[in-house]
Amino acid sequence: MRPENKNLSKNMTNSFDGFSSSAPSTRNIKPSRRELKKYKVEEEYRFAFRTKTDLEFMDDGYKWRKYGKKMVKNSPNPRNYFKCSSGGCNVKKRVEREREDPSYVITTYQGMHNHESPNCVLYCSPQPSSLSYTSSSI
DNA sequence: CGATTTTGACCGGCGC
DNA sequence: GCGCCGGTCAAAATCG
């Protein structure tokens, strides 16, 4: 999220192509992920909407932590994955730019918040649970 | 110092 | 059975 920070060290880990014995095995076997993956959310609430904005994405007042970036073939633009960083709140947000209209961004919310937004305290406005949508077609 | 970001690699499912 | 795609995580680096 740093547009001005374009100075990236090109000399990163170059000797990692092979198979390091004592090197950090990193992703050896992560049971945590396996267990989590096992969960088949049948009734997952998804709310997606398209908005015209020049910014990367809109901030609902929640704190989003980017946990991944992927480039889809359908779109020359990368897809960003965000996760709500809050205690017990595992809401995920997917932000992708329109292929034809770069000015448009598609924001997809996945899951529901377990806590009110930090901004809600400031605004003190009631938030109806009309965000629950079992949308099957994005 | 802590939280967050960034990139690459891996996993899991599905298609052929 | 293998390949492809999409999604997630983890370590390192950076910012405040």
Report the distance from CA of residue A101 to the C1' of nucleotide B9 in Å, as an integer: 31
> Which nucleotide has the shortest C1'-to-CA distance from A83?
C8
Confidence check: pLDDT of A66 > 70:
yes
Of residues A45, A88, A39, A91, the one with CA closest to residue A65: A91
Mean pLDDT highest for which of A28-37, A99-108, A124-133? A99-108
User: Which bases of strand C sit closer than 7 A to a protein CB?
Assistant: 5-15
Q: Which nucleotide is nearest to A1 (CA to C1')?
A: B5
- Contact yes or no for A85/A93 (Cβ under 8 A): no
Domain spans of chain A? 41-110
Q: Which residue, counting CA atoms, is nearest to the C1' of nucleotide C10?
A: A26
What's the pLDDT at A44? Answer: 63
pLDDT of residue A1: 47
Assign domain A41-110 one CATH number from 2.20.25.80, 3.40.47.10, 2.60.120.10, 2.40.37.10: 2.20.25.80
Closest CA to A89 of A118, A51, A53, A115: A115
